[in-house]
Structure 1
Amino acid sequence: MLHTVSLKENHVFRRLYHRGATAGNRLLVVYCLRNGTGHSRLGLTVSAKLGHAVERNRMRRRLREVYRLHEAELLPGYDIVIVARSRAMEADFAELTRAFLTLAGRTGLMQEAAQ
């Protein structure tokens, strides 16, 4: 990923959940908040309720790839958390992509939305 690092600290996740802009649909929920740096930080959340470790890790890889492919279209300098919902486990890659891009547009992460 070009200008993105992983988001790992629990306090940052909690800050995003409470203060960040939120958008959700039937597959995903996206939280975002400006972080004041020149790079974005990405956090992925897939609950243990959604399946065994192999399935959860597959979902994380798929979400990371959706983000990676569209990173250039997103504004830099944001903390982003993507939360997978249960229906996302059965969704194909194209559905996940559409869901993410829709939510990114709603939260103001897309570059063309900011102009």
Structure 2
Amino acid sequence: MSKLVTLRKNSEFSRVYGRGKSRANPMLIMYVHKNGKDYNRIGISVNRKVGKSVVRNRVKRLIKEAYRKYADRIDKGYDLVVVARSDTANAGYHDIEMWMKNLLIRHKLLEKRD
């Protein structure tokens, strides 16, 4: 398993927000934009409305882990930004994983498998 490559700069996030395609479900919003590289980069945004810092950091860890599960099966060459909605604070790992998979399939980055 390789190290997770993340978006760090505000300009990188802005490019994905501005030019990327978005899909949403009750827990997460995902923006996707081609990056022209042979690997994917992910950025995670959790608003203060989700909860205090302990809750926000937990949500970020759960989203990272859900992404990591599918990372090797996702098409390469994309920047992804995942935004957590306020209901995510009460969600468990399996809920977030299910919603993450749903968005990856809707963006056609992941093959639908059983």
Aligned to 1:53: 53
The alignment status of 1:70 with 2:70, answered yes or no, reads yes
Q: TM-score, normalised by structure 1?
A: 0.91
Q: Are 2:19 and 1:2 equivalent residues in the alignment?
A: no
Q: Distance in 2 between matches of 1:108 and 1:20?
A: 14
| Number of residues of Structure 1 aligned to a counterpart in Structure 2 | 112
Q: Which runs of 5+ in 2 are unaligned?
A: none
Alignment-derived partner of residue 20 in structure 2: 20
Q: Which runs of 5+ in 1 are unaligned?
A: none
- CA root-mean-square deviation: 1.4
* Partner amino acid, structure 2, of 1:73: R
Q: Which amino acid aligns with 2:104?
A: A
Which 4+ residue blocks in structure 1 deviate beyond 6 angstroms? none
Per-residue deviation, 1:3: 6.4
Describe the SS at the equivalent of 1:33. Answer: strand
Deviations 1:38-94 (A, max 9, x none): 111110000112111111111101100001111112111110000000111111111
8 A Cα contact 1:16 1:31, kept in partner: yes
User: What is the TM-score normalised by the length of structure 2?
Assistant: 0.91
Does structure 2 conserve the Cα–Cα contact (< 8 Å) formed by 1:4 and 1:39? no
